[in-house]
Structure 1
Amino acid sequence: MWAGLFGFTNTLAMLGWILLAFFPRKPLTHSAILYLGVALLCLTYAVCFIAVLGGGLDPVTQSGAGKPGFGSIEAVRAIFMSDGGVVIGWTHYLAFDLFTGLWIARDGDAKGFGRVWQVPFLAATFIAGPIGLFSWLVVRERAARRTGRG
């Protein structure tokens, strides 16, 4: 089950990134990325998060895992000691990175950055989310000042 869900979330995110990088930036494309990509990943995350942390599905049972939670590194590690925990963690990354990529693309379009300029930042965000976002924030600053901080 978890391997299938992992594959589904990866495919869904990849389709969103392909739309973002290579398809015309029209309202329908943005809506597809936001609702059929990001929102569906968020819903998948929420359902799995509640099921796993509630103990109803793939509870953490490995010895020494401790009680799952967010209060310590050991508690967070316990979440990732199950396939369900890995899938929800990965889905979290996929959803937020795709949302961030959509924001970068919209922001780049609004500030007059062409797609050729945007693609390296989108690729960096796809591969290593915070690095791509930080790089974009540095590059966009001058354009943000020119356009009144928008």
Structure 2
Amino acid sequence: MNWDLIFTICNNWALIMWLVLAFAPRHYWPNDIVIKMVFYGGVGLLALAYAAIIIPLMTGMISGGASGGADFTSLAGVQALLSSDGGATVGWIHYLAFDLFVGIWIARNADKHGFARWLQVPILFFTLMLGPLGLVLYLLLRMTRHNKVAEAVVPQ
């Protein structure tokens, strides 16, 4: 299996979806078409790629996984899995899908609460590059529009 090719395709596809999410004018199209495109075309396809790879990889049906000792219950087991080409690729696809999902939530929620796009773009960038840090930055920003912390952090 060509892990470099799979990695490159998924990585580039996710980057395209992030650019669409950050810069496409969402308010011009009806029914959140941009969000739906990024959700199904971005997160959906990345999740499908992950699902198509993880089970055959973990069961040994395809090569490229960790050679023995790979499990999710110990640090050594996770290191063994991620040290293989297949494990690193599928792990990266996992990050890409979930970070993009969080980015969609941030963008939709920020639109709903009236945050300008110029303010969203840096937060989306941090979410793309550093995942949870971008989410924390957005939650802190949300607190500026609400008096109660619960109203700021509970997804709506």
Q: Is the 8 A contact 1:23 1:29 kept in 2?
A: yes
Q: Is the 8 A contact 1:111 1:144 kept in 2?
A: no
- 1:38 and 2:46 aligned: no
Q: Distance in 2 between matches of 1:60 and 1:136?
A: 36
* Compared CA separation, residues 144 and 95, structure 1 to 2 (3 A): farther
Q: How does 1:125-136 map to 2 (within 5 A)?
A: 125-136=127-138
After TM superposition, the score normalised by the length of structure 2 is 0.87
Which ranges of 4 or more aligned residues in structure 1 deviate by more than 3 Å? none
Query: Gaps (5+ residues) in structure 1?
Result: none
For this pair of structures, how many residues does the alignment match?
145
Q: Distance in 1 between matches of 2:81 and 2:147?
A: 43
Deviation of 1:143 (Å): 2.1
Q: Name which of structure 1's ranges 24-33 and 9-18 shifts more when overlaid on structure 2.
A: 24-33
Q: Aligned residues: percent identity? A: 41
Deviation of 1:75 (Å): 0.7
Q: How does 1:71-150 map to 2 (within 5 A)?
A: 71-145=73-147, 149=151, 150=156
Q: Distance in 2 between matches of 1:78 and 1:144?
A: 45
Aligned letter for 1:39? Answer: G
Question: What's the C-alpha RMSD, in Å, of the aligned pairs?
Answer: 1.6
- 1:60 and 2:66 aligned: yes
Query: Gaps (5+ residues) in structure 2?
Result: none
